[in-house]
Amino acid sequence: MGGWRVKAKEALAQMSIAARFLCLLHVANNYLVSPTLVYGPSMLPTLNLTGDVVLSEHFSHRFGRVRPGDLVLLRLPVDPAKIAIKRIVGMEGDRVTFFDSNATDLLQTLVVPKGHVWIQGDNPYASRDSRHFGPVPYGLIQGRAFLRVWPLSSFGSLEQ
Amino acid sequence: MGVRNNVTVFLNFAKEGFDKAVLVGKLCCCVHVVNTYFCSVVLAYGPSMLPTISTSSSLLLAERFSHRFNKVDPGDIVILRSPEVPRKIVTKRVIGLEGDRVTYVVDPNNSDKSDTVVVPKGHIWIEGDNIYNSYDSRNFGAVPFGLLQGKVFWRIWPLKDFGSLRRRAK
C-alpha cells in the first residue's frame, strides 16, 4: 500500500532534478552561451555549406555591444520563425553601399535608420539579406557568434 | 579558543546569509520565468492609446505566449520592441497582419489624405487608438512580427478602470 507512495516520491525527486537541470540549460542557452547548428551557402567561405556548430553569446546585444564585422544570430524580418546568421555591415547612422539585388551592376547607397542594422551574408551571390529586405531592427538580434566548435578541423574563433 | 569560537560564529552567519541569498535568487528566477513566458505587468503611459488607455500611468497585464504561436489578430493590443529604440517597449493595437490591405490617414492633424498599403510578409501594422498623437506604423512602417513581446488582455490600475482589454467586437 505504501509502496507506490514511496516510488511516487522517488519519481518526483528525480523529475525535480531533471527539471532543475533543464532550467539551468535554458537560462544558459538564452542568456549566456549556446551552441547553434548553422548551415547554408550564404556565409561561405566563413561558414561551411553543410553545417557548422557555432557558440554564440546572448548578452552583448542586450548592452548594445554589437559592432560592424560581428557575426550575429537574428530573427528574419520576413519569417519570424526562422533564425539566421549574418554579418553586421553597418549600424544606425552608417552609410552603406551595396550592389542592387535586382540589377547587380547598379550601386546603391543608403543611410541605416535609427534603431536598425544592415546585415549581409559573406557570400553575396547566395545570400538573402538587407540588400533584399532592407535594414533590420536591432531588436531582432538574438546573439553574437564568436567560436566555431564543429567540425573540429575548423575549430577556432570567428572574431575578426 | 575565543578566536575559534568567533570564526565558527562568523562561518555560521555567512552560511545562513548564503542560504538566504540562494533562496532570494531562486525567487527572482521564478519571477523572471513567469514574467517572460506567462504573464507580465506593463506600465503604460502616454497619449497614443487614448481613450482606451489613459495618459497617466496605467498598469496592464500582458500574456507572453500567444505571439509565439502566431495567435495575434487585428484588434489586439500588443506590446512590442520599438523598431527605432530597441530598449523601449511600446503598447499599440494591431490593425493588419501580413497580406492585409491597410488604409490609414497619413497625418490627421493637417489633412484628410489617406494611403493604402499591403502589409509585407512577416510584418504587422500597428497604430495607436489616438491617431492624432501616436507614433506608430504610419511613421515607421510595418514592423517585423519578431519584435512582438506579448498581448495585453487586462488592466489592473487605475482601479476604477479595472477590467478586460480584450479585442473590440468588430
Query: Tens digits of per-residue pLDDT, A63-120?
Result: 989 999 999 999 999 999 999 999 999 999 999 999 877 767 788 899 999 999 999 9
* Cβ atoms of A89 and A109 closer than 8 Å: no
Lowest mean pLDDT among A121-125, B17-21, B56-60, B157-161: B157-161
- Does the beta carbon of B53 lie under 8 angstroms from any beta carbon of chain A? no
Share of chain B above pLDDT 70, in %: 96
Residue B147 zone, left/alpha/beta (φ > 0; ψ -120 to 50; rest): alpha
pTM score: 0.84
Residues A80, B81: C-beta atoms closer than 8 Å: no
At B3 the pLDDT is 77
Per the CB < 8 Å rule, is A114 touching B84? yes
Q: Tell me, what amino acid is at A106?
A: L
Q: What is the pLDDT of residue A28?
A: 87
Q: Using CA coordinates, name the residue in chain A closest to B121.
A: A78
How big is the CA angle at A159 (ends A148 and A139), to the nearest 5 degrees?
A: 90
Percent of chain A with pLDDT over 70: 98
Hey, is the C-beta of B135 within 8 angstroms of any chain A C-beta?
Answer: no
Position A131 pLDDT exceeds 50: yes
ipTM above 0.85, yes or no: no
* A134 inside 8 A of chain B by CB: no
Q: Is A140 on the interface with B (CB under 8 A)?
A: yes
Mean pLDDT of chain B: 90
Residue matched to cell numbers 478586460: B164
Q: Which of B120, B121, B147 sits opposite A137 (nearest CB)?
A: B147
Mark yes or no for CB contact A140/B147 under 8 Å.
yes
CA distance B61 to B43: 9
Query: Which positions of A are annotated as active-site residues?
Result: 42, 86
Q: What residue in B sits closest to A62 (Cα-Cα)? A: B87
Q: Nearest-CA distance from B80 to chain A in Å?
A: 10
B104 contacts chain A (CB < 8 A): no
- Give yes or no for a contact between B160 and B135, defined as CB atoms under 8 angstroms apart: no
Ramachandran sector of residue A105 (left: φ over 0; alpha: ψ -120 to 50; beta: rest): alpha
